[in-house]
Chains A and B, each alone.
Chain A
Amino acid sequence: MSNHYYNAEDLKKFSTIGQYQKEMGDKFFAWYGEVFKDSALTAREKSLIAVAVSHAVQCPYCIDAYSSDAFEKGWSEAQMMEAVHVAAAIKGGAALVHGVQMMNKVKGIAM
């Protein structure tokens, strides 16, 4: 067994997760494929969203897959970095906006 949690080679094995639960695995991949098709949003637009979300959820497999995919679909380095900034801004803002909760609490107990 490998001695680290993340292994780039494991990304290629993603499709094997159905080994332990085929029906759910099949449904997931069918749904996943549907999500990323051209529809109200283009596959290209979805790919850039996926880059941003991959960073927000900090999934190295997703970052690997969608950095390649978005670049292949023609997004520039600057556009991809701006998408990451959007993810970071939302994550930063999400932490910071809870500061209001902290303020509410402190104001409630302070003299």
Chain B
Amino acid sequence: MKSLKAQGHFLSDSHHQIDVLEHGEPGKEYRLVPFQQNMERITLFPLKPTGIEIFQVNVGKMCNQVCKHCHVDAGPDRKEIMTRDTMQLCLDTLRNSSIKIVDLTGGAPEMNPDFRWFVEEIKKLGKHIIVRCNLTILLANKKYNDLPEFYKQHNIEIVSSLPFYTADRTDRQRGNGVFEDSVKALQMLNTAGYGVEGSGLLLNLVYNPAGAFLPPSQNALELEYKQALRSKFNIEFNHLFAITNMPIGRYLDYLLQSGNYETYMEKLTAAFNPVAAKSVMCRNTISVSWDGFLYDCDFNQMLDLPVDCKQSKHLSEFNLEALNGRNIVLNQHCYGCTAGAGSSCGGVVTE
């Protein structure tokens, strides 16, 4: 399967994605209540940061997988990769900043040739690092087999997608054989001590719905995952993050292709939760793209909606004070983060 970009798909242009979000699918006029209107109603507009605590870096769109729900439209054919020079700009920014958490994502971040160097340099600054590891990368090539030991050595927190504890649902979303390889990778991480009680090595899993529906209760699902993975595969992990699929990128394509777009958007809007809206992740996160530009979140990054902050649009002019005073850019996809118990890179936001 190719990325939307490699297919020359109309949704590979972010303007078309925004057009669908604002006006419905091509040829159909369909308007939802504007997200901004809901935020105004609960006096959260303009939405302001609560203070940047997490520096999320998308080190490139290249990935060994082509998942059907991927908002990044990542895949082996994507060549956008962060250079060492841009990484150096990240390090310079972090060195002079009070931000303590660095969240590395992609694509498969490990496929960036300077990934290990970058991790080591960030650790020298005393920052906590989260790596969003897709698990199968550990088995994709011999050169990645020692990553669990590398992660352990640097006390990296691992967050890994495993859409379900059965092969069927996982493979439908992430590709054939992904579940089997993910199980092997989780066992490798457990062997290194990850997810094992008392080790201090955090291994968190991510659930995404494999279809056009919202996640169930995160707590109930975590228990089911723990029981199923322990009994069938002897796998241990720390926490499960239940994440709502965002109606952008390849998931938007899936919604349109399957005829679920309007129903899904209605579900999201009907589930708008003011409590979740107060705690959305863009209030304490800044997202950095492979070429060093700044965004409110990884979703805005993929929609080419840069931060609304003239003094600080790129790492080269990073200004924490100015960014903390900005208005966060909102659009209809933001309903994905405010539905039900809310959704963020760390799972629900209301518990």
Q: Which residues of A contact B (CB under 8 A)?
A: 38, 42-44, 68, 71-74, 76
Contact = CB atoms under 8 A, between A and B. Distances in A.
Contacts of A43: 217, 220
A76 B168 contact: yes
A45 to B, nearest CB: 11
A77 B42 CA distance: 40
B217 A76 contact: no
Contacts of A76: 166, 168-169
Interface string B212-256: 011111001100100000000000000000000000000000000
A42 B215 CA distance: 16
A-B interface, 9 closest residue pairs, ranked by CB to CB distance from nearest: A72-B213, A73-B216, A72-B216, A68-B213, A76-B168, A44-B220, A74-B224, A42-B220, A43-B220
Nearest to B211: A71
Given A38-B220, A72-B216, A74-B221, 13 more contacts: A43-B217, A44-B216, A44-B224, A68-B213, A71-B211, A72-B209, A72-B213, A73-B216, A74-B164, A74-B216, A74-B224, A76-B166, A76-B169
Contact of A71 (B213, B221, B224): B213
Contacts of A42: 220
23 contacts: A38-B220, A42-B220, A43-B217, A43-B220, A44-B216, A44-B220, A44-B224, A68-B213, A71-B211, A71-B213, A72-B209, A72-B213, A72-B214, A72-B215, A72-B216, A73-B216, A74-B164, A74-B216, A74-B221, A74-B224, A76-B166, A76-B168, A76-B169
Nearest to A43: B220
A38 B215 CA distance: 16
Interface centre among B169, B211, B216, B224 (most CB of A within 10 A): B216
Contacts of A72: 209, 213-216
A72 B244 CA distance: 12
Interface string B184-214: 0000000000000000000000000101011
Interface centre among A38, A71, A72, A74 (most CB of B within 10 A): A74
Nearest to A73: B216
Contacts of B166: 76
Interface centre among B211, B220, B221 (most CB of A within 10 A): B220
Contacts of B214: 72
B46 to A, nearest CB: 32
Contacts of B215: 72
Nearest to B165: A74
A69 B213 CA distance: 9
B131 to A, nearest CB: 27
Contacts of A38: 220
Interface string B269-293: 0000000000000000000000000
A55 B164 CA distance: 27
A74 B221 CA distance: 9
A3 B220 CA distance: 42
B346 to A, nearest CB: 21
A71 B220 CA distance: 15
A76 B216 CA distance: 14
Nearest to B209: A72
A104 B238 CA distance: 63
A77 to B, nearest CB: 9
A104 to B, nearest CB: 48
Contacts of A44: 216, 220, 224
A74 B215 CA distance: 10
A68 B267 CA distance: 12
A71 B168 CA distance: 13
Contacts of B209: 72
A43 B213 CA distance: 17
Interface in B142-169: 164, 166, 168-169
B251 to A, nearest CB: 16
A76 B168 CA distance: 9
Nearest to B228: A74
Contacts of B213: 68, 71-72
A74 to B, nearest CB: 7
A44 B219 CA distance: 12
Nearest to B224: A74
Contacts of A71: 211, 213
